[in-house]
Structure 1
Amino acid sequence: MSPFSTISAIGSLALAVSTLAAPPSKPSPICKCLSSGPSCFPPTRTLDAFNKTIEGRLAKISPPAIVCYQGPEFDAAACEALRANATNPYFWGEHIGATMYPKTLGGEFGVNVCPASLNSSLPDSACGQGKVSSFGVDARTVEHVRKTVKFAAAHNLRLTVKSTGHDQAGRSSAKGSFLLWLHHLRGIEFVDTFIPESCTARAGLPAVTVSAGEQWGTLYEQAEARGLAVVGGAVQTVGVIGGYLQGGGHSPLSRTYGMASDQVLEFKVVTADGQLRTANSCTNQDIFFALRGGGVGYGVVTSATIRTYPSPKTALALYTIEANAGNITKNAALLRQKFVDSQPEWDKIGLSGYIGFGSTTLWLALFQPNGSNATIAAALKPLFDFADPARFAVAGVSFGSPTFYSAYRMFKCYLNKGLCTDTVGENGALGSRLIPTKLFQNQKGRDKVGAALSSILDMGTNFLVVHFIAGGQVSNFPPDATGLNPAWRQALWHVVTANFWADDANAAQILQKRRATTAQTKVLAKLSSHAYINEADEAEADWQNAFYGTHYKYLLRIKNKYDPAGLFVCHQCVGSERWSADGNCRV
């Protein structure tokens, strides 16, 4: 992984009601009906009847790599394509049964139970289903979504929802589940003036309405063509809607305009009763609050209307600084501390971006919206003056761009030539913390931060990145205006540590990596008790407080109001403490 990576078949509604009758055995009131439990899961005739109501969009799903195993689905050409595109997010995004990270589809601890890398002479029985849903709906319309939600609720199914499959925590996959795939639910509409429904007394704002299957790269390109910018993810193949937006969504533009969730003016959401609801500041305000940063699991968002801005000219700096002479270990630590000490000034002048750390190296990918090559060079001069050529090697480029997107494209293409986006396919355990601004306001606090970074590097982390994307306008939004963890409003950094394992790693090897991440996260926890839900330790003990903060109790009330039966249960989502670890049974 690049140090700059910001961490990838089976129609008429007028069918007789009897064709969609309850399963032959009454579903357990305690546990979900899984595809592995035939006495409870809907039989073929019921699935066929349902399929006719959704225009034939129901599919039986196999693991993507089944094409590499001897059996009815063996396909040598498809297998070779799968292997050749192992790290290509565009390839995996088009597969209903895939995610961007094999760990989220595997067995215990993330063991890959159907790897494409094995000898193709193996029988298909060697390819495990893992957490790949056995059936799924390729939804193309909002009606497909509504009918799927109602069908899953009526049959007590374990429903999972996926757009692109970038969810590091694996919330879009579960063993024996019934998948709602939103990747082909498309549509982008820009308007000069948008007034949320029932908010007729409000002044309109420039905005864009985006359907659930759209990705940030497509939206960026269309906004750029209109001279506009939107606050979105650093990875352009991530879906606009889903875990990113509902989890808060940080961006190189967050410090300029606020979090991505702060930009939402209105949602269209299908709740557990199958109703399509409008949620904004005037209608269904409670679920609007929850969907803006309070995570997923309240319903299925089919579209969101978000603010647009005139695209600012943007400066970009991409540099590597390496300690390469003298006492290298000491000099590298001094460089890290100099970087930490620079943060108050960088905060003041509006820099943002991503900073990666190796044991002797510092990588910088910095943006300055409304800046120029001259202003970003001046901002970095104190750090570069410190990194004198007698002790350090400095290499890189900086330039001014006429728009944010042009700078963003330079950033992505510089790091990943050809694809011009982050690669996927690498398995890892992530941990994170939101580091408060107050720690940077005095030397004692800054020394603590620098020492924590050095300690994590000494522990052997495979990946340590500072996301300098908080503070600024993020801190200016009222902390209780949205469901976002209020700790974001007091933070300057989001720091991620990660440890990776090979595709053929066994459970013991993976567990070792996961425990290493947890140990490193505990170092960061001495600085803060809060973390970003989308890039966090899956073993986080006090996850309710870490991910949701003081908003958790209110979010739980909203969850219980709109999803009382727990149709949208997912790992470390609001209310999931009432379910077993696999999310299948109430506890």
Structure 2
Amino acid sequence: MKRREVLKASLGAALAAGGLPGLAGPANAKALRARVRPGAAGWPSAAEWDGLRRATSGRLLKLASPFAGCAADAASCATLREQLKNPYAIGDNPALTQTSGWQDAWLSQPSAYAVAARQTADIAAAVDFARTHKLRLVVKGGGHSYKGGSNAPDSLLVWPRAMNEVSVLDAFIPQGGTEADAMPAVRIGAGAMWIDAYTAVTTKAGRYVQGGGCTTVGVPGLVQGGGFGSFSKRWGTAAASLLEAEIVTADGQIRIANVYTNPELFWAIKGGGGGTFGVVTRMTLRTHELPEFFGGVFGDITATSDAAFKTLVTRFIAFYRERLFNQHWGEQVSLREGRKLHLAMVFQGLDRAQAQAVWAPFLDWLRASEDYTFQEPTIMAVPARRFWDADFWAKTAPGIMAKDDRDGAPSHHAVWQGDRGQAGWYIHGYESTWLPAALLDEGAQARLVDSLCAASNKWWVELHFNKGIAGAPQEALERTRNTATHPSVLDAFALAIIAGGGDPAYPGMPGAHPNDAEARRRASAVRGAMNELRKVAPNAGAYVSESDFFQQRWQDAYWGPNYAKLLEIKQRYDPDGLFTVRHGVGSEAWSADGFTRKD
């Protein structure tokens, strides 16, 4: 029996028996069987909710849909609709999520109450209250969860948006460590977004921290999901840079997790999934020396025929293997309708002349052919320290970044223009798979090209090269290997993403009328396109934060051989499943809505 089959067989037996040996599991007669909804016996009384309000210094909020008053106040509703184009405005409303829902999967609905935490004690009080009263508990940092993990009606929400402090440290020593462990780092609060981190670390301090590509993503959520940034091909995943975390576990205890203190919990939150092992209240991440330049290559190439498009993809894959498959290059290309290859790549550690030299052979080949139409791609390099500086971009290349234009918004809050389409979007279908670097071997490239072209005939295909770590320096590979993320990320040259969605469709939102039939048709096309790619990568894993809500064999797809250990840690720190998210570690013990334990 193959190792994968042995893992699946042993894991299945453990789950069927109610858990792993020696740990509390679903079969435990004392285990919590169901959570309480409003109006049911056991739902906290007004006096008990008031007690939580006092325990959190008045930071308990009763939530309702922001669209509830639209019928009576059309002007305010119109303002709200306009703000849905601004991801910062969405994130500042605890009753909203950055994604408005997913066809036939979930809809964004506010929790019953939220604790707008400003300190760790507020979060501990919320966790204690939820555990004591058997409530559904959810956690929302950045709120980008595509699969709805930060969303649950009838729940208590932990919302640490205001805990957004960022402190740059010259020599951080983890608790229990020694002077030999000291290194430059940054301490980041639970509510901080990556733009907050990049502004403090790069723009102001001239260092680099490996974080997310989208500036509005929350820091702890990305790290716990094992997330990637534009330059992960150089520095590994965000989880690989985690040095220490403060976390409130299901028993309400405030714990420090690092390699010396609670080391297994520390490993679990490095890629084991957000909202699963506790509420992370702050994280400390290593920082790195900043290269002189960051840059990008942007453009579109259109083929005149199907045969020419296949030749273009063939040539690009060979070019990628020869010139781009290394630590300098990240982000993506996409195969689009109309026989178009869209370039949106970034680089680090090269100047503009060096980047131009890298691309010269490919561009010379294009110019020599009459089968393609294109404008010369934009190749630009900027001082790395200015890469996340919205004022710099406003002067240098207006339109690349869009600022949060609300009165009183922090001046550094800006988003890449290309990411604004995600604000409030309603997902029709979303799938991902890692593509093994072996597919770049000379003898395998033809199969890869055939699969990519077949998939792109059904839907757009995006190849995110920075979300596969193969080709990274050895130190980045080793740090990433020491996380809970599926080990196949180490052997992947890219993450293929095939996805589609529509305009915001929050429940109760005036004018929101999703076309269910069309959404399902598009979801089917997305699924069909991914099936073409899986012909060349049939057992590849998927990235937990960017994958199918209906993911099959999700334990193996997201964590592979790491899942059994993650489940053991989960049952040790959270035996009653207080922290339950869709397809999170241990969630197979609970109903899809997280309210009822399965028999």
Give the alignment's TM-score, normalised by structure 1: 0.86
1:50–1:203: structure 2 CA closer, same or farther, 3 Å change rule?
Answer: closer
Helix, strand or coil at the partner of 2:325: helix
Q: Does 1:289 align with 2:267?
A: yes
Partner residue in 1 for 2:296: 317
For the 8 Å contact 2:56–2:125, the answer to whether it is kept is yes
1:28–1:294: structure 2 CA closer, same or farther, 3 Å change rule?
Answer: closer
Partner residue in 1 for 2:7: none
CA distance in 2 between partners of 1:413 and 1:272 (Å): 47
Work out which of the residue numbers 209, 219, 223 in structure 2 matches 1:230: 209
Q: Which moved more, 1:494-503 or 1:272-281?
A: 494-503
Q: Does 1:393 align with 2:374?
A: yes
Matches within 5 A, 1:29-428: 29-35=32-38, 37-70=39-72, 75-103=73-101, 108-110=104-106, 131-200=109-178, 202-223=180-201, 224-242=203-221, 244-296=222-274, 297-323=276-302, 327-345=304-322, 346-348=324-326, 350-359=328-337, 360-388=339-367, 390=370, 391-403=372-384, 405-406=386-387, 414-417=399-402, 420-421=415-416, 422-423=419-420, 424-428=423-427
Instruction: Give how far 1:381 is off.
Output: 1.4
CA distance in 1 between partners of 2:582 and 2:523 (Å): 16
AA paired with 1:59? L
CA distance in 1 between partners of 2:519 and 2:44 (Å): 35
Partner residue in 2 for 1:513: 522
CA distance in 1 between partners of 2:379 and 2:171 (Å): 36
Instruction: Give how far 1:153 is off.
Output: 0.5
Q: Which moved more, 1:344-353 or 1:400-409?
A: 400-409
Partner residue in 2 for 1:542: 553
AA paired with 2:52? F
CA distance in 2 between partners of 1:483 and 1:392 (Å): 44
CA distance in 2 between partners of 1:303 and 1:417 (Å): 28
Partner residue in 2 for 1:10: none
CA distance in 2 between partners of 1:89 and 1:150 (Å): 31
For the 8 Å contact 1:162–1:181, the answer to whether it is kept is yes
Instruction: Give how far 1:586 is off.
Output: 0.9
AA paired with 1:344? R
Q: Does 1:523 align with 2:524?
A: no
For the 8 Å contact 2:461–2:496, the answer to whether it is kept is no
Instruction: Give how far 1:177 is off.
Output: 1.4
Instruction: Give how far 1:558 is off.
Output: 0.4
Q: Deviations over 1:331-375 (max 9, x none)?
A: 222212222112222114622222222122222222221101011
Instruction: Give how far 1:508 is off.
Output: 4.2
Q: Does 1:570 align with 2:581?
A: yes
AA paired with 2:191? G
Instruction: Give how far 1:524 is off.
Output: 2.7
Q: Deviations over 1:452-474 (max 9, x none)?
A: 22122111x25634343422137
Instruction: Give how far 1:564 is off.
Output: 0.4
Instruction: Give how far 1:525 is off.
Output: 2.6
CA distance in 1 between partners of 2:31 and 2:176 (Å): 41
CA distance in 2 between partners of 1:462 and 1:337 (Å): 17
CA distance in 1 between partners of 2:125 and 2:86 (Å): 32
For the 8 Å contact 1:314–1:367, the answer to whether it is kept is no
List gaps (5 residues or longer) in structure 1: 1-26, 112-129
Helix, strand or coil at the partner of 1:558: helix
1:488–1:511: structure 2 CA closer, same or farther, 3 Å change rule?
Answer: same
1:251–1:412: structure 2 CA closer, same or farther, 3 Å change rule?
Answer: farther
Q: Deviations over 1:564-586 (max 9, x none)?
A: 00000110100111111222111
1:287–1:575: structure 2 CA closer, same or farther, 3 Å change rule?
Answer: same
Q: Which moved more, 1:525-534 or 1:267-276?
A: 525-534
Partner residue in 2 for 1:13: none
CA distance in 2 between partners of 1:215 and 1:448 (Å): 40
List gaps (5 residues or longer) in structure 2: 1-29, 404-413, 506-512
Instruction: Give how far 1:404 is off.
Output: 5.4
Q: Deviations over 1:505-562 (max 9, x none)?
A: 2544434333333333333333142010010011111100111111000000000000
Instruction: Give how far 1:499 is off.
Output: 1.9
Instruction: Give how far 1:149 is off.
Output: 0.4
1:58–1:540: structure 2 CA closer, same or farther, 3 Å change rule?
Answer: same
1:29–1:492: structure 2 CA closer, same or farther, 3 Å change rule?
Answer: same
Give the alignment's TM-score, normalised by structure 2: 0.84
Q: Which moved more, 1:204-213 or 1:358-367?
A: 358-367
CA distance in 1 between partners of 2:557 and 2:87 (Å): 30
CA distance in 2 between partners of 1:506 and 1:349 (Å): 43
For the 8 Å contact 2:31–2:576, the answer to whether it is kept is no
Partner residue in 2 for 1:487: 488
1:93–1:545: structure 2 CA closer, same or farther, 3 Å change rule?
Answer: same
Instruction: Give how far 1:28 is off.
Output: 9.8
Helix, strand or coil at the partner of 1:341: helix
For the 8 Å contact 2:199–2:389, the answer to whether it is kept is no
Helix, strand or coil at the partner of 1:64: coil
Could you say what the CA RMSD is over the residues aligned between the two structures, in angstroms?
A: 2.3
Q: Deviations over 1:369-403 (max 9, x none)?
A: 11010111111112212222622213432122221
For the 8 Å contact 2:240–2:480, the answer to whether it is kept is no
AA paired with 2:61? A
Partner residue in 2 for 1:22: none
For the 8 Å contact 1:220–1:405, the answer to whether it is kept is no
CA distance in 2 between partners of 1:349 and 1:489 (Å): 13
For the 8 Å contact 1:267–1:279, the answer to whether it is kept is yes
1:363–1:417: structure 2 CA closer, same or farther, 3 Å change rule?
Answer: farther
Partner residue in 2 for 1:121: none
Helix, strand or coil at the partner of 2:345: strand
Q: Which moved more, 1:425-434 or 1:152-161?
A: 425-434
1:313–1:478: structure 2 CA closer, same or farther, 3 Å change rule?
Answer: closer
Partner residue in 2 for 1:21: none
Partner residue in 1 for 2:24: none
AA paired with 1:97? A
Helix, strand or coil at the partner of 1:59: strand
CA distance in 1 between partners of 2:277 and 2:185 (Å): 24
Q: Deviations over 1:473-495 (max 9, x none)?
A: 37621665221211111111011
AA paired with 1:540? Q
1:379–1:164: structure 2 CA closer, same or farther, 3 Å change rule?
Answer: same
Helix, strand or coil at the partner of 1:385: helix
Helix, strand or coil at the partner of 1:477: helix
AA paired with 2:445? R
CA distance in 2 between partners of 1:444 and 1:404 (Å): 41
Partner residue in 1 for 2:593: 582
CA distance in 1 between partners of 2:399 and 2:321 (Å): 28
Residues matched between the structures, number: 531
1:29–1:226: structure 2 CA closer, same or farther, 3 Å change rule?
Answer: closer
AA paired with 1:553? A
For the 8 Å contact 1:254–1:473, the answer to whether it is kept is no
AA paired with 2:431? G
